Every structure is written in structure tokens, then in C-alpha cells.
Structure 1
Amino acid sequence: MTDWITTPIDARILRGALELERTERGLLPHRLPAPVRQRYPDPRLLMAESQPSGVRLVFRTAATAVELDVLPTKVVYQGLPPRPASVFDLLVDGRPAGRAGVDGGNVRTIDMSAQTSDLTPGPHGTLRFDGLPGEPKDVEIWLPHDETTELVALRTDAPVEPVPDRGRRVWLHHGSSISHGSAASHPTGTWPALAAARAGVDLVNLGLGGNALLDPFVARTMRDVPADLISVKLGINVANTDLMRLRAFAPAVHGFLDTIRDGHPDTPLLVVSPILCPAQENTPGPLMPEFEGNRMSFRALGDPSDPTRLTLTAIRDELARIAEQRTAEDPNLHYLDGLTLYGAADFDEVPHPDGLHPNDAGHRRIGERFAERVFGAAGPFAAREE
């Protein structure tokens, strides 16, 4: 019988979350602070920020077995087949060492057409990894990027301590569902996680599915988060929600960047435009889901003849113009065309399954290219000798 040691879960062993909420069952990691959640209680925003993309338990231990009690909230889309089970990734000394899921949990049923959801409560489950090496090692358990997960209890068969500071730079990133990790099959397979692993940096992922909307509260959040490197991948959610016209877009981008600069005046700051999405390259939103049997895709409904409406082509042009304008006074601001990460040739080779979100192969391609172009020796986030 295993002699378990229970370790309190707190900020010392949890990375990637901005806040921990005490619940009836345990702790709920959040990626936006409480004042934001209270002022802007939009259900889609609250669901996205509570899904712990990039959040992981990180500790040092000689344990050969680890158990984690969790309460997941699984998402089911009305009229579509059940989504693949969300999983937890285990890393030992930075290398993949296991993957597992849990049974039980709450179930949130979403009707995409009606934009409604219902929650059915359920029991917590237990995640177990065993057969680990018996010597001291760094252990990381990455939480599911697309499934709200309350942390109930952590048990090991040897003591746990926080991992000491290894001097890794902190990369703060904000983007849409693609940055959040939609359609990736596991949490370390999202493109930001892949890029962070290749670059050897600590990721704080503020990718918010459907909610990269130039909201001032996100910029203020980023302003206040300690970071060595910052990137913002902007545009596609503004287009597919048909949120604003061209006249409003540029001031909103400037205001967003100004706010980040209030807290990070000299930090390398990268603006990234959208990757390819054929449905919206030259057609404005709104973007609406369409169902063909068990398959969901998306169609843009806007008028392409209206020059005031935002397409992805117009957004890339405007972001490039804004970046060029600002770099005259801000040499630490940089721009990256999203088509260099994933363009037309990539869509031919590894198309988005739903026309909008990349699959694992797409995430891998984007992450590898981002690491090379941004963290590489000639990139804006290259490590510089002091």
C-alpha cells in the first residue's frame, strides 16, 4: 500500500495562471483576474479564461507515483459527436513521460446556433502517473488546455518542493482560439507550448478562444503581469465577430499597445497578424457555423464590396502599417506576418479540419516556425548576452 504525502496546491507549484480561486472542491486556476471576471461576466469569456491553456503544476520530487484529484468541466456541442477526451501531459525533466485523462466531472452542453449553454454537475476524478524514476527530478503536469479544471488534491509517494528559479525568461502571449489551442489534441501540443519548449522559456498563455477582441481589460492585465517577452496575435476574432469597422480598428490597436507599454516600456513586444483562414481572407464577418452531418465548418456572411469592413487581408495591411509607424519611436516593437507561420501552401498540406482551427500538424508547424523566426538567433526574442 502506498504511503501518500499530500501537498497543498498553491502558486509555488503552479505556473501559467494569474489567479487561484478557492472553490467548494479545491482550487480553480484563472487566466484573468477577479475584477475583470466580475465586470465583464460574458459566458464565453469566462469559459475561455477558466480553461487552463498553458497552466501546469511544476515541482521537484523523487516520487515514483503521483496522483492528482481534479474536477473537470467537459464541453459537449449540441448536434455534434462527443469531443475527444481532454488529457493531461506529464513531463519529467522537460521530456514527455506520459499522458492520461480522468473520468467524471461536470458537463457543459453548448448550442452553437443559439449561443446558449447548460451545466450538469458531476463528481471529481483521479489522475495517476506511476513508474517514474526514483531520483530527484523536475515534474510538470500540464492541465487540459480546453477544459476547465478544478484542482482538488495532489498526492505523491515522496516529498515535493518547488522547482528553484533557473533563470528562464517569461513569455507572455495573447491571441485567439488558435493561440488558446483549439483543435490541438493535448496541452503541450498547442503552438505556444511547442514554441516555448523549443525556446526554453516559461509560457504565460492568454490565448482566449473567441475573445482576442482588443479589450482594454486584457491590455491592462498584460500591463500588470511580469514578463520578459510579450507577443499579441491580433485580428481574426475582430473580423469573425464583425466587431468593428476599419475606422475603429487602428485606434483600438494603438490603445491596446499603449496600455501594455505603460507597464512594459522597453520589453520586446511582437505584433503578429492572423494566419491563413480562407473563409475570411477577403470576406468580412460575421462568421457563422455550418453543419453537414457530424462535421462543423464556418462561413463568412459579410459584404466583401464594403471597404469599411474588416477582412484578414485588410487587417494584415493595417497591422503592418501600425507597426511600421510605431517602430520609429519604439525600437523594441516588432511585427510578424501571420502568413509566414501558416499560409496558402500550408493549408494545402495540413488544412484546418473545420476551415478555421489548425490540427496537431498545423500547431506543430506554427510552433516550430514561431520558435525559429522569433526566438532564433536573428529573431526579436533571441537571447542576448548581458
Structure 2
Amino acid sequence: MNTDPRSDATDTTSKEGSPVTTLQGSRPVLSVKDLVKAYPVGGNALPGSRRQRLVAVDHVSFDLAAGQTLGVVGESGCGKSTLARCIMGLESVTEGSVLFNDRDIAKVSRRQMRHLRQHIQMVFQDPYDSLNPRRRVVDSVMEPMLVHRLAKKPAARRRAAELFEVVGLSSRHLDRYPREFSGGQRQRIGIARALASNPQVIVADEPVSALDVSVQAQVINLLCDLQEEMGLTYVFISHNLDIIRYVADRIAVMYLGQVMELAGSELLSSSPAHPYTVALLGAVPDLAVGPDLQVRERIVLNGDVPNPINRPPGCPFAPRCPVAQARCIEERPELRGLPDGRLIACHFPFSLSL
């Protein structure tokens, strides 16, 4: 699961000019190119009125090959969930593109999106809110099959029973209501519902953050097993870098809507290059990291994330970065490739090898 793809990684350039990481010999099933999601705030709709923008996702790019997991990590408010909703077509895209098998989700019609959603499903953060409390769980699991006309009701019920067993639940409980299940069981039902349409890609948005620690491990291992058995592709979002490090082949570290660093899981864990990545790793107790992190003092973050409406003119992390210099405050670093295959948005990256 944690095979480090560094040896096969290459840096290329998107048509808009931002670097993305692809895998040699692998056609990406999901390709995000210079994605921007901004919300207008303040002002009014009158001619000549000035409205500010809250940029939640700021020129994010990545490629994801079939069967891989991209982990997206960062503090609350960094744009992780907005990115997930843009990938799912639940939010319109301000700029850029989201390509699923070379089809731009940002430009398809609602009817076409309904068809594409069969192949891209989501596991939501809160298992208590993601299931309709007035519906039996079997109806929730059958719904994707009926909506996409993959099976008629008798066959859909049989498939729902199979999926219950797949995710570790008893098919005898199909006719129960969500209130009769624990949080971990409800999340398993959510996973079964996501699998019902036979998707290629699953976007998991903080799928275990609302669960007890012991249950988290069970759900994470279930997701890993399903990926191996079904060849699923994951975008796995979490604020917990330890979890991301366990499940992901590659990790994208986000801050204030931007990707600060993107690298193979082992490379990023053993030799973080961005000061923000170093700070996140230092906040994880007893995390096994390489000597590059051990020889430096841990970076303790002070202050809050800057206002996304009034963004700093230079590096967004500069106001909190203990090693920021004048260039960082004045000039925004572009996401660029380094010789070891990682991408980084930093003028002065850490690394013993660079």
C-alpha cells in the first residue's frame, strides 16, 4: 500500500504552465489542472460595486494513476474539502479543470455529470449525517444502483446484501435504520453505498475523523483492503498526517488553498523539504522520521492561518514561518520540481540532499 513511487515519478508541465507529477507508463485516471475555486464576498450586485474574493483552492494541480492513493493533508480551512467537492462536481470550478479519463468534469452538463458520478463516489466525513435517518439502510445502499439503472430492485437488494458482507456487516441487518448502528458501522454502510455503483475513484473526505481511535484503524484497514481487491483509486483527505502517511502513495500538503509540497509518502516523511511540512510532522507524536528532521529543532507554528480574503502578497506561509526571509514576504513561490522528484512551493526548502 505504501510503495514509494519516487523511482517512477517525473515532473511535467500542465498546459497552463503549472508543474504536475505523473507516473511513467501510467495514464492518469484523474488529472487536476490549475484548479481555482473562489467565492465572492462583500459588496453587492450593483454595477460598479467592488466585491472581494475568498480563494479556497488556489491553482492546485496533480495527476493520479489508477490504483493509487493521493493523500491531501493540512490544517482546517486549507481548502481540502472544497477541493474534494470540486472533484465530485458538487462545487463549480472558477478556473482550471478536473479531468476524469480525459473528460473535464468542470464543463460537462448536469446530465453528463450524473453519468460520470457513477464512476466517482464519495465517502463523507460524518457517518451520522450522511445517511437519511428515515430510510432503511438497504434503501441507501441500493439507491446508486437504481439511479444509474445498474440493476432492478430485486438484484439491487441482493447486491446490497453482498456489499454488507464485503464491508464487514451482516446482511441480516439490511432493513434496520441508521440509528440502530454505531458510528463505525454507519461509516461502513457509507462505504458500501459508495461501492454500489462500481466506481473507479473514491474521494474520502476525512472518513475517520468522527470515529473513535480503535474504530478508525478498522475503517482505514477496510479501505486499504478494498483498494487492493477492487483496484480502486483514492483521494484521501485528512488533517491527520500519520493516517495520510499510512494510506497514501503520494501526499499533497495544502496551506491556504495551495499545495506547498507534493511527494511520495516515504520521501516526504523521511526528508520533508517545506517548513510547513516539517511543522506538521513535528506535531505527530512518535512519528518515525529520517535524520534530516532529527537534526533540526521542531518547528512550532504560532499565530493563525492568514485571512483568505486578504492573502499575503508573497508566500502564504511566510507570516508563520520561522525561517522566512525578505524574498518570502515579497515574492510568491511557484510550485516547482526538485531533483528528487518532489514538487515544492518554497524559496528556501530544507533537504540534506539538495
- TM-score category (smaller protein): under 0.3
Q: Specify which structure has the higher proportion of strand.
A: 1
- Structure 1 length-normalised TM: 0.26
Q: Specify which structure has the higher proportion of helix.
A: 2
Q: Which has the higher contact order (CA 8 A, sep 6+)?
A: 2
